Amino acid sequence: MSEEVTGNAKSLSMIVTKGSLDWAYPPFILATTAAAMGLNVSMFFTFYGLTLLKKKLDLGVTTLGNPAMAMPMMGMHMQLPNLMSAVPGVDAMATGMMKNLIKKKGIASIEELRETAVESDVTLIACQMTMDMFEYGIDDLIDGPELGGAATYIETATKSDINLFI
């Protein structure tokens, strides 16, 4: 426990359901920042969100179902139409572009944010049902997550000041 975390500290809980590179940012940014501001933080990883706990992250983005995605390019913004995602290599290209932007703009990597979350005593809960469904073992995950189910989350959420579904 860090020095600021006390019995009367505010608390934040999050359900993390998505496992793409873009969607991995909001939960980890909020978790690390909240922990830095002295909140007790719990993250419950379920469905595709569970991939964010895997030892080796290989996150990507897709243009499919993402009409708002526009990459800055030569002073303009390039739209990537839905249909393009069917073209082999387009999602890999979009992922590469986003990773480039992340580096260029001094944005933390998901690995760095995740490490900070672990160091800040953020409670990580891996959904047992998702582990079973997608056939993951505890050894596939980084050190630190506890296993739990819906009741574990609800108990945490009941006591939390802020509850988010991402």
Q: Alpha helices, DSSP H only, in 18-149?
A: 21-36, 90-104, 110-119, 128-133
Shortest distance, CB of residue 117 to other proteins, whole angstroms?
A: 10
Total site size for other proteins, rule CB under 8 A: 12
Given 17, 20, 32, 130, the residue binding other proteins (CB under 8 A):
32
Q: Are 63 and 84 in contact (CB under 8 A)?
A: yes
Given 38, 67, 72, 81, the residue binding other proteins (CB under 8 A):
38
Is residue 121 a contact residue for other proteins (CB under 8 A)?
Answer: no
Q: What residue type is 30 in one-letter code?
A: L
83 vs 101 by CB, closer to other proteins: 101
How far apart CA 74 and CA 19 sit, in angstroms, is 29
Q: Which stretch binds other proteins (CB under 8 A): 36-44, 81-89, 121-129, 147-155?
A: 36-44
Task: From residue 9, give the alpha-carbon distance in Å to each of 3, 37, 40, 63, 110.
Answer: 11, 10, 7, 40, 26
Name which of residues 125 to 164 contact other proteins (CB under 8 A). Answer: none
Residue spans of beta strands (DSSP E) within the chain: 11-16, 40-45, 70-73, 76-79, 123-127, 146-148, 162-165
Is residue 4 a contact residue for other proteins (CB under 8 A)?
Answer: yes
Is residue 5 a contact residue for other proteins (CB under 8 A)?
Answer: no
Interface ranges with other proteins (CB under 8 A): 4, 29, 32-33, 36-38, 105-108, 116
